[in-house]
Chains A and B, each alone.
Chain A
Amino acid sequence: MIKLKQLKKNGSKKYLNKKIFLILPILIFNAIFFFGSFVTGIFSSFGNNFYNNGWFVDKTFILLDQEIIRNIFFTLRISAFSTFFSLTIALFLLFIIFNHPIAKKYFKKILYLPLLTPYLLIAFFMMYAFSTSGLFNRILFSLGIVDNLSDGLILINDLNGKGIILAYIWKTTPFILLVLLNSLDHFDFRLLTIAESLGSSKLQSFYNIIWPHINSSFFYSGIIIFTFIFSAVEIPLILGPTRPQMIGHWAFQNFQNGEIIYRSQSLAIGTVILCLNIIITLFIGYKLLGQVTYEKNH
């Protein structure tokens, strides 16, 4: 790390060329595991001697299949809702943090806690807390609020994917907040005091002073979260309903449980998901970030 800083300072061409070696490990890792599996996946999805029904046969099937269209809409809906709620809550929390000095001091440390919890753990926690016979319903039951456990609150495996959304909000809100706080690392807080002394309301100074500092990180983290949820597997697998399925879950299940001769089909689905993901990312990135840069320049 120290070396890197020095390199940055020196900035000479000789040092810059050596920079590539510093990121070489991660480049090789990505080349082999990410790019390698991407290429293998695409090739396998074409089918071979053994897998007769490959990409060519199935791409029409995939596009025409009602099920995948339903699954894609379900996935889009869940990703959009989760991203929207996480972003809103994060922004709201940020507003609170800035207006309460004590919160500002301790909040960042607390934020690391949910970030360190694995997704699987959260999924299982949700399952034990909000299933029919979960903790929450048992409490309602013992308080006499419901007569039957099945009349209580059920957020798991429901057709609207409430459990999935909740799990993602829990996990991604701290992430967004942390990104936002980091982008404010060099922010001069005296600006807020000045604004206030000039009569600006809290909301006004938040919008006019803080927002311009964080808006690009805000949209960036939104895109990261959206695309991440879009192709997620494990949380939908545990918390999602039988039908509709999120497409990542759907492809994984086909690959894992389907007959071996259909593996190329699952890989073809996987490729389609990847392409959809790239398209959506580019689209949102282009639309939103284009706008952000525009605002910054003018």
Chain B
Amino acid sequence: MKKIVILTVLLIIALTAISCTKTENISQEPLTLSWDEIVENGKNSTVNLYYWGGSTAINNYFDEFVSDNLKKKYNITLNTVPVSDIKDIVNKILLEKQNNQTDGSVDLLWINGENFKLMKDENLLYGDLTSVLPNFNKYIKENPLDFTEATNGLEVPFGKAQFVLVYNEERVTEEIKTLGDLTQWIKNNPGRFTYPSIPDFTGSAFIRHFYYHESNGIESLKDINPYLWRQGETYPNSSGTLDTLYSQGEVDFTMSYTPFHQIQKIRSGEFSEASKTLILEDGTLSNTHFLTIPFNSEEKAGALIAINYLISFEAQYEKMKPSIWGDLMVLKEEYLSETERNLIKTLIVDYQLDIETFENNRLEEFSGDKIEAIEKEWIEKILE
């Protein structure tokens, strides 16, 4: 009995020791400095980048291209930390704030949407970053919205995603231009179409198009339900499962929020060569993703340098190549130089789809609250 008591006491001490952390004061605030001074301060530092690491292409881009160039140009060591869900990192910063911890381990964070809103509402962000970044003021100039939320420079645009449908050319011979055409096709070809169920991100985005284009979104969804794969009785639980169904030929469509999904999947051998990308002419949803610095980063100057590099033409162009990542550029075409514009034009050949097709058919995302309401309605009206 005595031993058990001693053991318990030891265990409690050990656990307390683990949970205790030291606190330190932060040095000079980089946002009050000029860009040259920031570069002077941030050189030779080590920056911890936390990002969603679910894609090899993205991991390679950060680990090889970005890492090497930051080292070469500024002697900054980029320590990349791929995570499966950035929400966990936001949670971690939340807890750090709660404990008044000023020496946070996260210097640079790749986020958007709800995670940004939460960080903004809870004052977890460093400050107006865009005003000091030379590349932002050269190429972008305006702070975009993030799922209807004003960003105020708290995060810096890094890339753009757009919703696309992928179809099998051999099976889908009709021309599909609008959402109306698509619903007609679904009704004519029962069992050959489906979408991932809520809470899958891609499935949720697909559903939102009905709310954009139809006067009564949920009714239209109910309408096509019996014509879906397995009579709409069950849905694939993720976009990955839908991709599998598509590659096995069970359905003729799949979908993605990554514009060059089809090119990448053909290259990896998962999709047949007959796969084509489709952007509805009445518009598909697009969103911007961002980079930001948490309030308690210890290497804010270094993180600012890294962000500025990531929104340089060089880094954005590399990121845009379908063979590298295939993420759309955030730099505005009007601010690019002639040579830069020509470089992009040569890239378009690779894409099979004109960049302008994306630009011209772009819809802004709904707000987080609205998305939640839509998802709730879908679960109530379609699933129950």
Contacts and interface: CB of A to CB of B under 8 A. Distances in A.
B248 A50 contact: no
Contacts of B114: 259-260
A258 B199 contact: yes
B344 interface: no
Nearest to B248: A133
A120 to B, nearest CB: 14
Interface stretch (B27-35, B85-93, B128-136, B310-318): B85-93
Given A50-B98, A241-B233, A242-B234, A256 B85 contact: yes
B220 interface: no
A260 B230 contact: no
Interface string B191-226: 100000101100000000000000000000000000
A154 B383 contact: no
Contact of B234 (A20, A48, A149, A157): A157
B249 interface: yes
A260 B90 contact: yes
A237 B248 contact: no
Contacts of B7: 24
B126 interface: no
Interface of B: 3-4, 7, 11, 15, 85, 87, 90-91, 94, 98, 114-115, 118, 122, 191, 197, 199-200, 230, 233-235, 237, 245, 248-250, 368, 372, 383-384
Contacts of A24: 7
A150 B249 CA distance: 12
Contacts of B98: 48-50
Contacts of A150: 191, 230
A260 B235 contact: no
Contacts of A50: 94, 98, 122
Nearest to A49: B98
Interface of A: 17, 20, 24, 28, 31-32, 36, 48-50, 67, 131-133, 149-150, 154, 157-159, 237-238, 241-243, 253, 256-261, 263
B85 A31 contact: no
A263 B250 contact: no
A253 B197 contact: no
Contact of B249 (A17, A133, A260): A133
A159 B94 contact: no
Contacts of A263: 91
Contacts of B235: 242
Contacts of B372: 259
A112 to B, nearest CB: 31
Contact of A257 (B199, B249, B250): B199
A40 B68 CA distance: 41
Contacts of A257: 199-200
Contact of A243 (B191, B368, B384): B384
A26 to B, nearest CB: 13
Given A243-B383, A260-B118, A159 B234 contact: yes
A260 B91 contact: yes
A19 to B, nearest CB: 12
Contacts of A49: 98
A158 B231 CA distance: 12
Nearest to A263: B91
A154 B230 contact: yes
B307 to A, nearest CB: 24
B231 to A, nearest CB: 10
A158 B234 contact: yes
A260 B87 contact: yes
A280 B230 CA distance: 35
Contacts of B233: 158-159, 241
Nearest to B201: A257
Given A133-B248, A258-B199, A260-B91, A242 B384 contact: no
A20 B91 CA distance: 39
Contacts of A157: 230, 234
A242 B237 contact: yes
The 9 A-B pairs at the shortest CB distance, nearest first, are namely: A257-B199, A241-B234, A157-B234, A242-B197, A242-B235, A133-B248, A243-B383, A133-B250, A242-B234
Contacts of A154: 230
Contacts of B4: 20
Contacts of B383: 242-243
27 contacts: A24-B7, A28-B11, A32-B11, A48-B98, A49-B98, A50-B122, A131-B250, A132-B250, A133-B248, A133-B249, A149-B250, A150-B230, A154-B230, A158-B233, A238-B237, A241-B233, A242-B234, A242-B237, A242-B383, A253-B199, A257-B200, A258-B199, A259-B368, A259-B372, A260-B90, A260-B94, A263-B91
